[in-house]
């Protein structure tokens, strides 16, 4: 579930060949497992693809003299418009109706049905004012940001990220930054820490980040490795040097 995007695409293509099919309207992934169906939706979302979910109840039929009973199955559907974003070069003669509205942060989809399910157990009524969060502040992790595809290499890209953060959340909510370099490249989806300046973000990236006026006022928490190359004190020294 945490594989890099290119591996996710390879898996989805292979799954489609084994337990799925393509028609004029898009791609359809089939499984008898509800858990797997939700995992497929999650994988699609990981690569910025919106899938829809449908269920099919138990059925009975016959093959020759044998009676066949199916417990039901689940289908994860990807419309032709969304499927093109997978980059698989599928040819769809029909464009699916555009029911999805996209922004950079969200998918907006129509609600077809509201269903009430019986439930017994604890219920928590959490209400907040507009703009409030479960915690009174936000801690962000620069290695996570980088692994998720947010470029931290230059002052220009750091400035763009902070402007987007201000637009969506508000920089006044940002109180702490968890600071590490990354052993893996931009958008890898892997949280693997490296010594400051020795990973893919590099000295230039940390210099850009540490010189941003918002970041300069925040506490930074290091969680870098300790090995024969460096210890905590040396990483702290490097961070201070890059921040001068």
Mean pLDDT across 88-102 = 61
> What band does 150 get if pLDDT is binned at 50, 70 and 90?
confident
Note the pLDDT of residue 228.
Answer: 93
Note the pLDDT of residue 128.
Answer: 57
User: CATH for 5-92, among 3.20.20.70, 3.10.28.10, 3.60.20.10, 3.40.30.10?
Assistant: 3.10.28.10
pLDDT per residue as tens digits for the range 96-148 = 555 666 666 666 666 777 888 888 888 777 665 555 555 555 556 677 788 77
Note the pLDDT of residue 98.
Answer: 56
- Indicate if the pLDDT at residue 49 is higher than 90: no
- Find residue 217's DSSP bridge partners: none
- Indicate if the pLDDT at residue 168 is higher than 70: yes
The CA–CA distances, whole Å, from 144 to 91, 169, 178, 179 equal: 36, 17, 9, 10
- According to CATH, where is 3.10.28.10 located in the chain? 5-92
- Indicate if the pLDDT at residue 92 is higher than 70: no
Contacts of 47 (CB under 8 A, 6+ apart): 5, 8, 9, 86
Q: Please tell me which of 54-58, 72-76, 187-191 the model is most confident about, judged by mean pLDDT.
A: 72-76
pLDDT per residue as tens digits for the range 171-206 = 888 888 888 999 988 888 778 899 999 999 999 999
CB 8 within 8 A of CB 46: yes
Mean pLDDT across 142-158 = 82
pTM score, two decimals? 0.48
- Indicate if the pLDDT at residue 60 is higher than 90: no
CATH superfamily of 138-243: Divalent-metal-dependent TIM barrel enzymes (3.20.20.150)
CB 160 within 8 A of CB 191: no
């Amino acid at each position: 579930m945490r594989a890099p995007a290119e591996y996710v695409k390879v898996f989805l293509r292979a799954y489609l060949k084994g337990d799925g099919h393509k028609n004029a309207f898009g791609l359809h992934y089939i499984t008898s497992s509800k858990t797997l169906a939700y995992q497929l939706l999650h994988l699609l979302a990981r690569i910025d693809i919106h899938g829809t979910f449908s269920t099919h109840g138990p059925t009975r039929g016959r093959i020759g003299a044998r009676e066949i009973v199916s417990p039901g199955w689940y289908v994860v559907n990807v419309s032709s418009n969304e499927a093109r974003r997978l980059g698989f070069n599928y040819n769809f003669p029909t464009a699916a109706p555009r029911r999805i509205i996209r922004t950079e942060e969200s998918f907006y989809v129509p609600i077809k049905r509201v269903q009430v399910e019986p439930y017994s157990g604890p219920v928590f009524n959490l209400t907040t004012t507009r703009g409030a969060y479960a915690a009174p502040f936000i801690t962000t992790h620069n290695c996570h940001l980088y692994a998720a595809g947010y470029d931290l290499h230059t002052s220009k890209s750091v400035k763009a990220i902070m402007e987007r953060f201000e637009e969506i959340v508000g920089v006044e909510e940002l109180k702490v930054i968890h600071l590490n370099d990354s052993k893996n490249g931009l958008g890898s989806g892997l949280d693997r820490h490296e010594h400051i300046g020795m990973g893919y973000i590099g000295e230039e990236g940390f210099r850009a980040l540490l010189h941003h006026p918002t970041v300069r006022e925040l506490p930074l928490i290091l969680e870098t490795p300790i090995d024969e190359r460096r210890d905590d004190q040396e990483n702290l020294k490097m961070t201070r040097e890059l921040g001068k």
